[in-house]
Structure 1
Amino acid sequence: MSNGKDASAAETSSQMNLKECLDECMEALDLFLNNHFNESLERLRPRVHESMYHALIYATVLEMQAMMTFQHDDISNAGNTMKSAQEVCQREKSETVTLKSFNSLKNLIDAKGTTHLVLHAEVCYAECQLQRAALTFLQVQIVSLKHRNLSLPGQCGCSAIPFVHIFIFYLIYKELHAFIKSHSFLKGPSHVHLEGGISFGIGAFNLTLSLFPPRILKVLEFAGFSGDKEYGLSLLHDGATGMNLRSMLCALLLLCYYTFLTFILGTGEGEVVEAERLLKPFRLRYPRAVALFEDGCKAQQTWKQFHHMCYWELMWCFTYKQAWKMAYFYADLLSQESRWSKAMYVYMKAAYLSMLPKHEARPFGEDEIELFRQVPTFKQKIAGKSPPTEKFAIRKARRYKASSPVRLPVPVLEMMYMWNGFSMISKRPELTEGMMQTLVDAERTLLESPENEYSVDDRCVIHLLKGLCLKNQGLLQAAEECFNRVFSSEKKIKFDHYLVPNSLVELSLLYIDQGRRDEAIKVLRKAKNTRCRCLLVKYSFENS
C-alpha cells in the first residue's frame, strides 16, 4: 500500500516540477520575443543540464541565431548544445525506449502506468533530433538543393542523420499524436504543451515534405512519410493558436511559409490576410517587436542579424517603390555589416546607382562601374559552393571589366525577378505601372543605342520582365507575345541563356491561369528540353 502512495507522491512531484520548468521556459520565451535575448538565455542557462525543456529552448534560441548568421561557429555551437539537450531528454525517457526498437515506444504508449513526464520527454527528444537534422541541412545544403539525400554528412555537433532515424522520429510524433487523441488517454496538467509539441513536429514534417518535388515526395510517401500540405498547415495552426511553448515556433514557420516561401518557391501568391491573423495575438503580447521594420531595428542592439533581416526587407520595399537611393542605402548597410553575401550586396549597390539619371549625384561619391568591377572580389563559398544569386551577380557584372563597358539596362528589376518580386507586387497596380514605365524607357534607350554583343540579351531581359508586368495588368495576350519573343530569340542569345527556359515557364503559368492545360504541358516540355540544351553552357540559376 505504501508503495502505491510513494509512486503517487513521486508522480505528483514530477508533475509539479514539470509545470515549474514549463512556466520558467515560457517566461524566457517572453523575454526573447521582447528582444531581451541575453536575459532570455541567462534565465534558461542554470538548468540546461537538468531540465529537458530548459535544455531544448536554450538550444532552440541558439539555433535561431545560427540560422540568421550562417556562421560556422554559431552553427557548431547550436549543434553541440542541441546534442546536449537531447542527452538530457534521454535521461528523462524510460530506459525501455531506445531508437533501436520502435516497438518499445509502442509498448510504452500502451502501458497503463505511462507517466506524462515520459511523453513530454519523448516529444522533446524527437524535437531535438528534428532540429539537429535542420542544422545539418543548413550547414551542408544551404547553398542549393543539388544532390539532395536523406543521409546528411554532419559536422557542427550534428552527426549524420540516417534515413531510418528520421523515419523513427517521424513515427514517434505520429504514434504520440494518435495516442493523445485516443479515448483512453487522460490529459495531464501540462497537456497543452505536450499537444503543441506534437502538432509542431507533425505539422513541420508534412509542410516541409509537401514542398519537395513530386517525384521525391512520392518516394518519401512510399517509405511511410506524409507530405500533406493542408494537414501540416492545420496542425501548425492548432499549435500556433494555443498558449503553449511551441506556439511561437508554429507561428514563425507558418509566417515564413505564407510571406516568403510561397513567393520564393513559386508555389502560390502568399496569404497576407492569414499572416495578419496569426500575428494579431503576438502583437498584443509583444507590442514592441512587430511594428515596422525600422522599429524592429530600434528595438534591440544585441542580435544585429535581426537588423540585417529588416534591412533586406526594406531594401526590397523601396525597390518596389523605385526609390533607388533609399534602396541603395539599405544595400550599403548590408554590405558593411552582413557576412552572408557581400558580392550580392555590392552588386545591388551598383545596380541601384545605375538606375539613377547619369548626371544625378551618387551617394557617398560612389561610382557604379567601379562597384560592378568589385563584385567578383567578394565571391565566397558556403558549404563549398557559392550562393546562386552571388554567381548570377558575378556573371552579370563581367561586362563591366571592359574599359568601355556596356551598361546593364535594368539590373535591379532583373534581380527583383530572381527573388520573385513581380509576383509580390501583382496586387499593387500602381507599383506594376511604375515598373512597366521603367521598362518602356529602358527599351527605348536600347533601340536608340548602337548594336553590340549584348543587344539581343538585353532586349530579351526587357521582354521577359514586360511580360510579367503585362500579366499583372491582365493584358494576357500582350504578355504571351513578350514571352514568345524571348523564345524566338533563343539562337541569338549569347550570355543570358536562363531567359529562354524561364520565359517558357512563365508562358506555361500564364496558360494555366487561363485554363489552357494541354498547351501549358506542351510548353513545359519545351522548357525542359530547352533547359537541357542550356546546361551545356551552364546558364545562371540552373538546378541540375
Structure 2
Amino acid sequence: MDIHKNSASQTALEKELELCTLAIGLYYSNNYDEAAAMLETSSGLGLYIPVTQATLAVMAAMLQFEPAAMDMAICRLHEALEAISRFRRKTGKDIRSEVELHAELCYAECLLLRACMSFLQDENLMNFIKGGIKLRNSFQSYKECEQLLRTVSMHGQTQTQFLGGLHLGIGMFNLMLSMLPTRVLRLLEFIGFSGDKATGLARLAEGAQGGSLRSPLCALALLAFHCYICIVLGTGNSDLGAAEELLAPFLQRFPQGAVFVFFAGRIEILKGNVSQAMLRFQEGVTCQATCPGFQHMSFWELMWCHAYQQQWLPAFHFANLLNEQSRWSKVYFT
C-alpha cells in the first residue's frame, strides 16, 4: 500500500514541478498576472505550488515595499509552511521518499524567506531576534538536506529540482556569511553558522546552470553580487566577465524579461558605456508595465545615468518619479 502511495505522490510531484516551471517562465517573461493565475487555479494540496506562490509574493514585497504586499507575502509563507507540514516526515522517523526530502528542502527555503520578511517588515529588536532564529533553523535544515541526499535515491527532474534548491540555499548562506566582518563571523560560527565565499559562488553558479526552478534566482543572486554588492562594499572583487557570461543564456531565454534586461544595463554602466546602459534601462521600463517595482529599479539607474552626464533636469525627472511612486527611500529621493 505504501509503495502505491509513494508512487502516486512521486507522480504528483513531477506534474507539479512541470506546472511551476511553466509559471516561473511566464513570470520572468513579464506575464506576472498569467503566472499568478496559473498557480492559483492549480493550488490545493500540493507542495511546490504554494512554495512558488510564496516566493513570488516575497519578491513582490521586496520590490514594492508596500505594507499590503508584505502582509500578502507573510500570508503566502504561512500557507506554504502549512502545506509543507503535510508532506514532511513524522517526528522521530527517517526520510524514505523523494517527496519527504523535497518537503524538507521547501521547509528550509520558506524559513529563509520568512526570516527575510522579518527583517524587511519591521526593524525592531524582537523581529531581528526572530529573524535570526529562523535563519539558523533554515541553515541547519539546508545542511541536513545535503546529508539526507546520500540516503534517498533520486532521479530525473526531481533530482535536478532538488539539487537546484540545495545550491541556492547553501550558496546564498555561504556567500552572505562570508561578507560579514571576521569578528561577527567567528561569533556566528560559535552558534553553528559557517561561510566560505568560494563555496557560495561555486554553488550558485552550478545552480544557475542546472535548469531548475531556482536557476534564475541563483543567477540573480550572483548578478547582484557582481553588479552591486562588490561595488557597495568596495571589495574590488566584481567579475563583469563572469556576470555577462552568466546573464547571456537568461537574456536569450527571456529577451524581454525586465529583471534580466535591467542587469544588462547595470553591466554596461560598470563598463563605462552610459549611453548603452540608458537604452537597456529604457527598454526595461517599456517592456512591461504591470510590476512598478521593476520600473523603479530602472528609474533609479536612469537618474544616475543622467547625473553622470550633468543632465540635471532629466535626472530630477526620474528622482521625482521615484519620490511619487516608490516607498524605498522617500528621504533620499526628496
TM over 0.5: yes
C-alpha separation between the residues in 2 aligned to 1:171 and 1:139?
A: 24
- What is the aligned-residue identity percentage? 37
Which of the pair is proportionally richer in helix? 2
SS state of the match for residue 270, structure 1?
A: coil
The alignment's TM-score, normalised by the length of structure 1, stands at: 0.55
Aligned-partner Cα distance in 2 for 1:259–1:162: 27
Which residue does the alignment assign to 1:274? 242
Conservation of the 8 A alpha-carbon contact between 2:207 and 2:214: yes
Counterparts of 1:93-132 in structure 2 under 5 Å?
Answer: 93-96=88-91, 104=92, 108-109=94-95, 114-132=96-114
Partners of 2:99 and 2:41 in 1: CA distance: 21
The amino acid that maps onto 1:152 is N
- Preserved CA contact (<8 Å) 2:115 2:132: no
Unaligned runs of 5+ in 2: 262-279
In structure 2, what is the Cα distance between the partners aligned to 1:340 and 1:231? Answer: 32
Task: Indicate how the Cα distance of structure 1 residues 70 and 15 shifts in structure 2: closer, same or farther if over 3 A, else same.
Answer: same
Distance in 1 (CA, whole Å) between partners of 2:313 and 2:106 is 48
CA positional deviation for 1:59: 0.9
After superposition, residues 65-214 of structure 1 pair within 5 angstroms as 65-96=60-91, 104=92, 108-109=94-95, 114-141=96-123, 152=127, 160-161=130-131, 163=133, 165-180=134-149, 182=150, 185-189=152-156, 190-214=158-182
Q: Give me the whole-angstrom Cα distance separating, in 2, the residues matched to 1:185 and 1:51.
A: 21
**Any residues of structure 2 matched to 1:100-499 within 5 Å, and which?**
104=92, 108-109=94-95, 114-141=96-123, 152=127, 160-161=130-131, 163=133, 165-180=134-149, 182=150, 185-189=152-156, 190-289=158-257, 290-291=260-261, 292-346=280-334
Q: What number of residue pairs does the alignment pair up?
A: 313
Distance 2:197 2:174 in 1: 6
Listed as ranges, the gaps of 5+ residues in structure 1 are 1-5, 97-103, 142-146, 155-159, 347-544
Q: CA RMSD, aligned part only?
A: 2.0
SS state at 2:127 partner: coil
Give CA-to-partner distance per residue, 1:457-490, whole Å, 9 cap, x none: xxxxxxxxxxxxxxxxxxxxxxxxxxxxxxxxxx
**Does the residue aligned with 1:94 lie in a helix, a strand or coil?**
coil
Shift of 1:17: 0.7
Kept in 2: contact 1:315–1:328 (CA 8 A): yes
Cα distance in 2 for residues equivalent to 1:224 and 1:340: 33
Post-superposition shift, 1:176? 1.7
TM-score by length of 2: 0.88
Q: Separation in 1 of the partners of 2:70 and 2:43?
A: 18
Contact 1:34 1:286 in 2 (8 A): yes
The yes-or-no answer on 1:37 pairing with 2:32 is yes
* CA distance, structure 2, for counterparts of residue 44 and residue 9 of structure 1: 27
| SS of residue paired to 2:256 | coil
Q: Is the 8 A contact 2:323 2:333 kept in 1?
A: yes
User: Cα offset for 1:131?
Assistant: 0.3
CA contact 1:48–1:58 (8 Å) conserved in 2: no
**Contact preservation (8 Å) 1:48, 1:85:** no
Which of 46, 49, 52 is matched with 1:54 structurally? 49
